[in-house]
Amino acid sequence: MTRPASPDQLDAQPAATPHSAGPGDRPAVLVTGANRGIGRAVAEELAADHHLILAGRDADALAALAAALPSAETFVAELTDYEGTAAAVAALELPTGLAGLVHSAGILVNGSVEDLSAAEWERNFAVNVTAVSELTRLLLPALRTARGTVVAVNSGSGFNAKGERGAYSASKFALRAWTDALRQEETGHGVRVSAVHPGRVDTDMQHELRAAESGAYESEKYLRPATVAAAIGFALRAPAEAVVATIDLRPRAIG
Ligand SMILES: NC(=O)c1ccc[n+]([C@@H]2O[C@H](COP(=O)([O-])OP(=O)(O)OC[C@H]3O[C@@H](n4cnc5c(N)ncnc54)[C@H](OP(=O)(O)O)[C@@H]3O)[C@@H](O)[C@H]2O)c1
């Protein structure tokens, strides 16, 4: 676990929102997939005024990222290892609860119904849906304490399905159903739930997708991870009386 470097550094940061504080009186936010892509951009977006709990599998890379941020610690877990994830949650110190939980970890499983095995379907659903629900379940008491916000990074594929992408789309449609159900369930507990649906984003996953599509990689046409992170930041920072239920964010060049 990497803790903030010094109280002086913390004092230099902007004031925290008052309802739920992490170390140094900052609201604590756990971000999955924090090593790369959209998750990393979310960490950078929130770094100035939050305490970050950086979740990922590569302990060294996470520690290096945490050391470069003003207030951050690491949360090392393979999210489909439910016992290991529960142990990592039990080790967290969240005296004033958890102000935010951003689910950015996800995988792209490509292939037709004809080609994909049952094991590939199960891996796809385990990472993109079941692990999201299980981590949220484990953190619900802390989220309720802080009247926190859950943000699920969904996709345009959570609205529209295409051939060869059925498994991924099915998992993102399921994630949309999960998000809507959780929002209803948690309204009475003060926890709000947001879904952010980006179109193509310039990350490693997009490289994988373009390779599967045998298409040119046109990064200038895609959303930047920082743009998606700003939308996620908007959902997390929404005024207390509001919930940003859904953001459908598309690259202008593609529509
Ligand atoms: N890129 C796009 O065009 C796009 C568009 C719409 C939606 N999305 C969604 O946005 C989210 C982030 O995507 P991205 O583009 O940032 O992807 P990415 O660059 O491929 O990064 C995926 C992240 O998920 C983590 N991860 C994957 N499986 C995991 C597991 N079993 N346990 C723990 N962590 C795991 C990876 O950790 P490691 O570093 O350890 O591998 C990595 O940090 C995903 O949910 C994706 O579906 C992406």
User: Where do we find the tokens 């699920």?
Assistant: 152
Out of 75, 104, 248, 249, mutate this one to test ligand 1's pocket (max ligand atoms within 8 Å of CB): namely: 104
Shortest-distance Cα residue to atom 40 of ligand 1 = 57
- Residue 18: pLDDT above 50? no
Cβ atoms 96, 90 nearer than 8 A: no
Residues 146-167: what's their mean pLDDT?
98
What is the per-residue DSSP string for 29-43? EEETTTTSHHHHHHH
- Residue 95: pLDDT above 50? yes
Residues 108-120: what's their mean pLDDT?
97
Is position 222 annotated as part of the catalytic site?
no
Identify the H or E element spanning 63.
helix 59-68
Label residue 16 by pLDDT band (50, 70, 90).
very low
CA dist 65 and 17 (Å) reads: 23
User: How much is the pTM?
Assistant: 0.93
- Domains belonging to the chain, first-starting first, are 17-249 (3.40.50.720)
- For the chain, the residue count is 255
The mean predicted confidence, pLDDT, of the chain is 92
- Residue 64: CB partners within 8 Å, gap ≥ 6? none
Cα three-residue angle 30-70-226, rounded to 5 degrees: 60
CA dist 98 and 162 (Å) reads: 37
The pLDDT tens digits of the residues spanning 25-59 come to 899 999 999 999 999 999 999 999 999 999 999 99
CA-closest candidate to residue 153, choices 179, 185, 125, 120: 179
Cα–Cα distances in angstroms (integers) from residue 96 to residues 6, 89, 141, in the given order: 21, 15, 11
So what's the pLDDT on residue 21? 52
Cβ atoms 200, 218 nearer than 8 A: no
Residue 103, phi then psi, degrees to nearest 5: -90, 95
So what's the pLDDT on residue 25? 86
What lines the ligand 1 site, CB under 6 Å?
A: 33, 35-39, 56-58, 78-80, 104-107, 127, 153, 155, 198, 200-201, 203-206
Shortest-distance Cα residue to atom 7 of ligand 1 = 155
Shortest-distance Cα residue to atom 6 of ligand 1 = 155
Q: Which tokens sit at 80?
A: 């489909």
So what's the pLDDT on residue 14? 33
Label residue 22 by pLDDT band (50, 70, 90).
low
Q: Which tokens sit at 136?
A: 């949220």
Out of 32, 36, 207, mutate this one to test ligand 1's pocket (max ligand atoms within 8 Å of CB): namely: 36
Cα three-residue angle 132-172-75, rounded to 5 degrees: 25
Query: 1-5, 118-122, 138-142, 238-242 — which is least confidently predicted?
Result: 1-5
The pLDDT tens digits of the residues spanning 158-191 come to 999 999 999 999 999 999 999 999 999 999 999 9
- Residue 132: pLDDT above 50? yes
Q: Which tokens sit at 12?
A: 């230099």
- Residue 240: CB partners within 8 Å, gap ≥ 6? 19, 147
- Residue 205: pLDDT above 60? yes
